[in-house]
Amino acid sequence: MEPSATEVWDEFCDLLKQAGGLLERPDLGLTDFDRGEGLRYLARLVGVGLVNALENPGPLRPEFRRLPPHAGFGLDNPDNVYMSAGIDPSHDYRISGRRGTIAYLSFAAQNQNYARRDRITGGAGHVNDDELHLTADGSFEVIASQEPRPGNWLRLAPDSRMILVRQTFMDPATEVAADLTIECLTPPPPPPRLDPDGVRDLLLGGAMYAIGASAWFADWVAPWRDAPNSMHAPDPEHHRLVGGDPNIVFRLGYWTLAPDERLVIEVVPPECDYWNFQLANIWSECLDPRYEPISVNAHSAHLEPDGSVRIVVAHEDPGVPNWVSTTGHAHGIMGVRWVRAASHPMPVCRVERA
């Protein structure tokens, strides 16, 4: 006997309750401020999971869609626009577009099923703008398939379920975004009507997405607290599992500052197409970039005469170049990205009195 609609809704709500354990994890050093953000973070993840589950047009009618506003995780880049489309690797796809003038553009075939940790198997093919064959006006086509194709080709694996697009802006005021579409090369049948019995699985899948993603990234961040105010090179296997771009190398860390302290980060940026430094909260959400500076990049950073960069993380504006605001946070995580870089230096960090 099928459950009633009321029973399905109750099951969904009961499942969501499991996510709340995140807000009491002892290994994250949580404050009341963090827990307030954590409530918002979980609600945002539920929204992402439900949109992905309920509003997905299906792999025969894929669309590139952006993440909902302000929804992010895993140290999302404030300079990026992230787009994704759901796929079925038994079909082939054509991505069409125009390159634009952004700093970096890449496509990745992924299996990022946070609802089932045992099914996260990482990325398959990656294609970036340097590898694309473009026409004179910057137009291109990419075929995504399991079997090799001539020209621009994105390799799909048997378990690929999504194509992720990263568009990286150095200076959004002057750059033109890439214009992209995707189509399945298998002619689709008439659009399906709603299957009432299938809604239960979609709801529960959306809830499990929030539970799985929040736990995954909390587990990722927690060990960093053992070495505060320093950076490290992340585990390459974890980078692969979450679908990391092989052209992007990270230096990551946990920061914590008293009210009268600031963190100084110094490094000589290598020759590269793009780099940035950013802060995130303890949940790995990028801090809000709309009102205060929470990152610097290769375009915005002030360099010293010797080519080095000195970044100052502080609660209040210290009146020096490259200030990055904590936006009221006492601790969180931080990261540097080197994109298509000749080398990958480790930044030096030290705490000073503000």
Q: What is the pLDDT of residues 159-190, one digit of tens each?
A: 999 999 999 999 999 999 999 999 999 998 88
Question: Can you list the alpha helix ranges (DSSP code H) found in the chain?
Answer: 5-17, 32-54, 196-221, 236-241
Domain 65-184 shares a fold with domain 227-353: yes
Please provide the CATH number assigned to the domain covering 227-353.
2.60.120.600
> Other C-beta atoms within 10 Å of 185: how many?
11
Which run of H or of E encompasses 290? none
The pLDDT of residue 1 = 76
CB 279 within 8 A of CB 294: yes
Instruction: Pick the closest to residue 200 from 51, 57, 53, 43 (CA basis).
Output: 53
pLDDT tens over the chain, length 354 residues: 788 999 999 999 999 999 999 999 999 999 999 999 999 999 999 999 999 999 988 999 999 999 887 888 999 999 999 999 999 999 999 999 999 999 999 999 998 777 665 555 567 899 999 999 999 999 999 999 999 999 999 999 999 999 999 999 999 999 999 999 999 999 988 888 888 889 999 999 999 999 999 999 999 999 999 999 999 999 887 777 777 899 999 999 999 999 999 999 999 999 999 999 999 999 999 999 999 999 999 999 999 999 999 999 999 999 999 999 999 999 999 999 999 999 999 999 999 998
Structure confidence at residue 70 (pLDDT): 83
Q: What are phi and psi of 82, to 5 degrees?
A: -100, 130
Q: How many residues does the chain have?
A: 354
Q: What is the pLDDT of residues 120-148, one digit of tens each?
A: 556 789 999 999 999 999 999 999 999 99
> Biggest alpha carbon distance in the chain?
74
Domain range list for the chain: 5-55+191-222, 65-184, 227-353
> In the prediction, which pLDDT does 235 show?
86
CATH class of 65-184: mainly beta
How far apart are alpha carbons 123 and 339 in whole angstroms?
A: 18
String of b and e for 270-290 (b: at least 16 CB within 10 Å)? eebbbbbbbbbbbbbbbbeee
pLDDT in tens, 224-261: 999 999 999 998 877 777 778 999 999 999 999 999 99
